[in-house]
Amino acid sequence: MNWAAMRTAYATIVRKEVTRFMRIWQQTLLPPVMTTSLYFVIFGNLIGPRIGAMEGHRYIDFIVPGLILMAVITNAYANVSSSFFSAKFQRSIEELQVSPTPNSIILLGYVSGGVVRGVLVGVIVAAVSSLFGQLSAHSYAVMASVIVLTALLFSLGGFLNGVFARTFDDISIVPNFILTPLTYLGGIFYSIKLLPEFWQGVSHINPILYMINAFRYGFLGITDIHLGVSYTLILLFTAGLFALNLKLLNDGYGIRE
């Protein structure tokens, strides 16, 4: 395939992916809006004022970046894992397998679908949160790059999950038992400086901590982690997952006898 043909194939996959999550927007776009609105009401209006300031900021302002990023992570991941798994399950993945589209384009296409959904949900949640108070912005460049990179990384994670999944249960295990705990313990609701030293150390094993802190820096200009470390880690994980997924596709893992 030449470049123009590959671009067409890529655009086709992305279009198909976006059409898919838009068609079921009640399941894909609405729930994060619901959940985060509840967070804003409870922590912003009811409990937040009693907690007082966190790192010199109102509590609601402190948690908004993490809540947005949590929605981005969950949605990017879920989009790709469920879309790829159901393409496997319905065998419509064969439409791509029999075509000359290279595996790298298939991977990029699926993952881009996840990035679009992740970022879109992030923007919607940010818009909703602005209804509950003034959003501050310290660096738009950091915000934009972290949201895109995080969506990309978790889309790749979702793809990996979709490749290995054999049943619909398999695509909910990782989000429920790994992703959710890691996000909650990744410093959405607190600064890790509040933790005893031992637990601060443990928290540093959690990759999501780095993303949430970098993202919060984009809003408030504060972070528990050096930004360079955050970006380096995100990029390393992204490159590693991309290579792993591509290898599995080339091997035909789970899709070729």
Partner 1 sequence: MTRAPALTMSDLRKTYANGVVALKGIDLTVAQGDFFALLGRNGAGKSTVIGILCSLVNKTAGKVTVFDADIDHDFARAKSYLGVVPQEFNFSIFETPWQIVCNQAGYYGIGRAQAKRRAEKYLTQLGLWDKRNDITRALSGGMKRRLLIARALMHEPRLLILDEPTAGVDIEIRKSMWEYLTRINQSGVTIILTTHYLEEAESLCRHVAIIDRGELVENTATGELLEKLQMETYILDLAAPLAELPPDLRGRPGWRLKDSATLEVDMHKGGNVNQVFAELALRNITARGMRNKTNRLERLFLDMVNEGKA
Indicate whether 104 belongs to the interface with partner 1 (CB under 8 A). no
CB 66 within 8 A of CB 186: yes
Return the number of the residue (23 or 193) whose C-beta is nearest partner 1: 23
Indicate whether 88 belongs to the interface with partner 1 (CB under 8 A). no
Indicate whether 26 belongs to the interface with partner 1 (CB under 8 A). no
* Nearest-approach distance from CB 5 to partner 1, in angstroms: 3
* 115 residue type, one letter: V
Q: Which of 94, 177, 181, 194 binds partner 1 (CB under 8 A)?
A: 94
CB-CB neighbours of 194 under 10 Å: 11
- The region of 100-108, 142-150, 153-161, 232-240 touching partner 1 under the rule CB under 8 A is 100-108
CB 149 within 8 A of CB 235: yes
Cα–Cα distance, 249 to 10 (Å, whole number)? 16
Contact set for partner 1, span 194-253 (CB under 8 A): 252
CB 186 within 8 A of CB 206: yes
| Phi-psi map region of 133: left, alpha, beta (phi>0 left; psi -120 to 50 alpha) | left
Return the number of the residue (101 or 155) whose C-beta is nearest partner 1: 101
Please report, as ranges, the residues that interact with partner 1 according to CB under 8 A.
Answer: 1-2, 4-6, 8-9, 11-13, 15-16, 19-20, 23, 86-87, 90-92, 94-102, 252, 256-257
